[in-house]
Amino acid sequence: MMTAEKEKQKAKQSLLLSLSFFGFDSEVRVFKLRAKSFKNPNFISIYSKMHKLNKGQRDKVQQFVSIIGTNDKVAVASLKDSGWHLEGAIDAYYSQPQSKTSTNSRHLEELYNRYKDPYADMIMADGITLLCNDLQVDPQDIVTLVISWHMKAATMCEFSKQEFVGGLQALGVDCIDKLRERIQYMRSELKDDQKFREIYNFAFGWAKEKGQKSLALDTAIGMWQLLFAEKQWPLVDHWCQFLQAKHNKAISRDTWSQLLEFAKTVDPNLSNYDAQGAWPYLIDEFVEYLAENGVNQRSG
- What CATH number has the domain bearing residue 155? 1.10.238.10
Domain co-membership, 91 together with 142: no
Alpha carbons within 13 A on the beta-carbon side of 193 = 5
Domain co-membership, 223 together with 283: yes
Residue 100: φ, ψ to 5° = -90, 100
Nearest of 33, 37, 36, 78 to residue 60 by alpha carbon: 78
Domain stop point among 40, 68, 95: 95
Domain co-membership, 86 together with 113: no
Mean pLDDT of 50-75: 74
Domain stop point among 129, 162, 191: 191
Domain co-membership, 88 together with 111: no
Domain co-membership, 216 together with 286: yes
Quick: pLDDT tens for 235-257.
Answer: 999 999 999 998 889 999 999 99
CATH code of the domain containing 275: 1.10.238.200
Contact 220, 248 (CB under 8 A): no
Q: Which pLDDT score is estimated for 142?
A: 96
Q: Which pLDDT score is estimated for 284?
A: 92
The answer to whether position 289 is within a domain reads: yes
Domain co-membership, 110 together with 147: yes
Q: Which pLDDT score is estimated for 11?
A: 53
The answer to whether position 48 is within a domain reads: no
Domain co-membership, 78 together with 147: no
Q: Which pLDDT score is estimated for 13?
A: 57
Least confident window among 27-41, 75-89, 159-173, 219-233: 27-41
Q: Which pLDDT score is estimated for 37?
A: 42
Domain stop point among 35, 63, 95: 95
CA 218 to chain centre: 25
Q: Is 120 exposed, middle or buried (0-12, 13-18, 19+ CB in 10 A)?
A: exposed
Is pLDDT larger for residue 283 or for residue 78?
A: 283
Q: Which pLDDT score is estimated for 68?
A: 65
Query: Is 197's pLDDT higher than 80?
Result: yes
Domain co-membership, 226 together with 284: yes
Distance CA 154, CA 234 (A): 30
Query: Is 17's pLDDT higher than 80?
Result: no
The answer to whether position 171 is within a domain reads: yes
Domain co-membership, 85 together with 116: no
The answer to whether position 91 is within a domain reads: yes
Query: Is 120's pLDDT higher than 70?
Result: yes
Parent domain of 230: 211-293
CATH code of the domain containing 63: 1.10.8
Q: Which pLDDT score is estimated for 103?
A: 73
Query: Which positions ≥6 away from 255 have C-beta within 8 Å?
Result: 280, 282, 283
Domain co-membership, 169 together with 237: no
Contact 213, 253 (CB under 8 A): yes
Quick: pLDDT tens for 135-165.
Answer: 999 999 999 999 999 999 999 999 999 999 9
Q: Which pLDDT score is estimated for 63?
A: 76
* Count of structural domains within the chain: 3
The answer to whether position 219 is within a domain reads: yes
Domain co-membership, 130 together with 187: yes
Rg, C-alpha atoms of the chain: 26
The answer to whether position 275 is within a domain reads: yes
Mean pLDDT of 69-87: 75
Domain co-membership, 115 together with 88: no
Q: Which pLDDT score is estimated for 160?
A: 97
The answer to whether position 201 is within a domain reads: no
The answer to whether position 24 is within a domain reads: no
Q: Which pLDDT score is estimated for 55?
A: 83
Give this prediction's pTM.
0.69
Is pLDDT larger for residue 297 or for residue 300?
A: 297
